[in-house]
Amino acid sequence: MDVPGYLLERIPLVERALDAAIPPADAPPAELHAAMRHLLFPGGKRLRPAFALAAAEAVGAPAERALPVATAIELIHTYSLIHDDLPCMDDDAERRGRPSVHVAYGEATAILAGDALQAAAFAAVLGAEGHDPARLVAAAGDIALAAGSLRLVGGQVADLAFAKSAGDAAHVESVHARKTAALFVAAVVGGARLGGADDATLARLSHCAENLGIAFQIADDLLDRGDDDVCSLVRVAGPEAARARGEALLGSALREIEALGTRAEPLQRLAEFAIWRNA
C-alpha cells in the first residue's frame, strides 16, 4: 500500500466535508467566516482526519463512515492553532508560511473564529446523518473530553508553563499526551466507533493512538531543535534518547494495529508515514 496514493484518494472527502461544515466566506458576518477559513483552506496535511478514516477501514467500514469525526477533529485542531498563535500565548505571526489569523484579521476576530470553529466541530459530528445516535453521542462526547481542561486545553496550559518548570521526560510525555495525543485518540477511536467497532477494539485503538500521538510529537520535535524553552523530549533527554523512545512507542502501536488484520494496513502504513515522514 502506497500512503501518498491513499491520502490523494481520501483527503478530497475531508476537504469537501470541512468546506460544508463552515458557512461560505461571504456569508455574514463575512469577516468572521473568512477568518474561520483562513487557516483551514489551505490546511495542513490533514493527518488527524486521515487517521479517523483509516481507523474506520481498520474495523471493516468504508472510510466515509468516519467523516463526521474526521471533520470535527480537524476543526478543533484548527481552532487550537489559532488560539495558540495569539500574542498572549505563543505569539506566532506566521503559520504554514502565511500570516496567523490574528495578524490577518485582528485579535478579537481570531479569538471569535476559534470559538466558532469549536462550536462548528460539534455541529459537524452531531449533525451527521445515517449514524446510530448512541455512537454519535459517544464519539462527540469523547471529542468534548479530548478538547477539554484535562486533555487538549490542559496540555496547552502545561506547555505554556513548561519554560518555568523543571520537567523530566515523564512530564514532557504527559504534556504530549494531553496537547497532541488527545486529538489522535479521539480521531482514531471516533473513526472506529462510527465504523461499528466493539468496545475491546476501541480500547486497543485508544491505547495505540495515544502512543502514536506521543511518538508524532517526539518526531516533530526532532526536526525543530532551536528553542531551549520548548517542552520536548529532545531538550530534556537528548536527540538519541528521544528518537529511541519515539521508535519504541511507534513499534508498540504498530504491533497493536497488526493484531487487527490486513484491513488495518492503511492505518499501519499511515502511522509509519505520519511519524517518520520527515524525521
Q: Which residues bind a copy of itself (CB under 8 A)?
A: 22-23, 27-29, 31-33, 36, 79-80, 83, 86, 88-89, 106-109, 111-112, 114-116, 118-120, 122-123, 126-127, 132-134, 136-137, 140-141, 143-145, 147-150, 152-154, 156-158, 160-161
- Backbone phi, then psi, for 261, in 5-degree steps? 95, -175
| The three three-digit cell numbers of residue 107, written as one number | 485579535
Residue (10 or 33) nearer to a copy of itself, CB: 33
Q: Shortest gap between Cβ of 24 and a copy of itself (angstroms)?
A: 11
Q: Shortest gap between Cβ of 119 and a copy of itself (angstroms)?
A: 4
Q: Shortest gap between Cβ of 236 and a copy of itself (angstroms)?
A: 19
Residue (11 or 140) nearer to a copy of itself, CB: 140
Q: Shortest gap between Cβ of 242 and a copy of itself (angstroms)?
A: 24
Q: Shortest gap between Cβ of 268 and a copy of itself (angstroms)?
A: 31
Q: Shortest gap between Cβ of 145 and a copy of itself (angstroms)?
A: 5
The full DSSP string for the chain is: --HHHHHHHHHHHHHHHHHHHS--TTSSSHHHHHHHHHTTSS----HHHHHHHHHHHHTTS-GGGGHHHHHHHHHHHHHHHHHHTSTTTT--SEETTEE-HHHHH-HHHHHHHHHHHHHHHHHHHHT-SSS-HHHHHHHHHHHHHHTSTTTHHHHHHHHHHHTTS---HHHHHHHHIIIIIHHHHHHHHHHHHHTT--HHHHHHHHHHHHHHHHHHHHHHHHT----TTS--HHHHH-HHHHHHHHHHHHHHHHHHHHTT-GGGHHHHHHHHHHHHS--
Residue (4 or 133) nearer to a copy of itself, CB: 133
- Output the CA torsion 147→267→222→75 (10° steps): -30
Cβ neighbours around 228 below 10 Å, total? 8
Residue (3 or 89) nearer to a copy of itself, CB: 89
| The three three-digit cell numbers of residue 12, written as one number | 478530497
Q: Shortest gap between Cβ of 240 and a copy of itself (angstroms)?
A: 31
Residue (160 or 241) nearer to a copy of itself, CB: 160
Residue (230 or 241) nearer to a copy of itself, CB: 230
Residue (10 or 65) nearer to a copy of itself, CB: 65
